Amino acid sequence: MKKGLFVTFEGMEGSGKTTAIQAVAAFLTEQGHRVCITREPGGTPIGQEIRNWLLNPDSVLQDVRSELLLFAADRLEHIAGVIRPALSRGEVVLCDRFTDSTLAYQVGGRGLDSDLVAYGIGLAGLVPDLTFLMDVSPEEGLRRAGKRGALDRFEKEDMTFHHRVRDAYLAIAKRESRVHVVDTERLGPVDCVERVLGVVDSFLSAS
């Protein structure tokens, strides 16, 4: 592969992103590709500090727009320090959350002005080549998340918030051809992974 490939994984809490990323990474490594696994927020040292603060249930913001700017700062550092260098080396970057999360959570969940959020996203100057929306109902996703341990600041939001986020994700998938929806509630883990790997394999074959 002459140039890198940027693949993102989106979805609600407990949607199965981690399982899919690990499977794709193993598949691509077996095929001889160099793989970079990363996440947002938290893909850099400073990003990890931002992540710790954003996910801490005790964190309080006086202005909801501050959250958007913290995510934007994390992303700019992430792109400059991790994503673009990996792509320039011809690696496949597998990222847990990217700009679609910002749209879904900040516009859908928080109700921020879409133009403001679009500006924050535009600072990134980077669009994924391929995106998987690991779709699950908020009720099931939070049930799964709860089994992993204590809920974080976003997971603790009320169910109405989570339904708005999911609706925003599905709206993104309808208008963006790069987004492939995987129903992780109806399909079992093995079928979900097979669907994701099939799309990735077809995309690489066509590249």
β partners of residue 6? 93
CATH (domain of 104): 3.40.50.300
pLDDT of residue 1: 47
Looking at the predicted structure, is the pLDDT value of residue 2 above 60? no
Provide the CB-side half-sphere exposure for 197 (13 A, CA).
18
Residue 151's CB: how many other CB atoms inside 10 A?
A: 15
- pLDDT (tens digit, 9 = 90+) per residue, 20-31? 999 999 999 999
Per-residue pLDDT tens over the stretch 111-150: 999 999 999 999 999 999 999 999 999 999 888 888 877 7
Domain count, the chain: 1
Asked if residues 29 and 22 have their Cβ atoms less than 8 Å apart, the reply is no
Q: How far apart are CA 143 and CA 147, in angstroms?
A: 7
What is the per-residue pLDDT for 205? 86
Residue pair 164/40 in contact (Cβ under 8 Å)? The answer is: no
- State the average pLDDT for the chain: 93
Which residue range(s) make up the domain with 34? 5-206
Task: Say what the pLDDT of residue 152 is.
Answer: 86
Within 8 A by CB and 6+ apart from 138, the residues are 12, 159, 162, 163, 165, 166
Identity of residue 45: P
Does 152 or 109 have the greater pLDDT score? 109
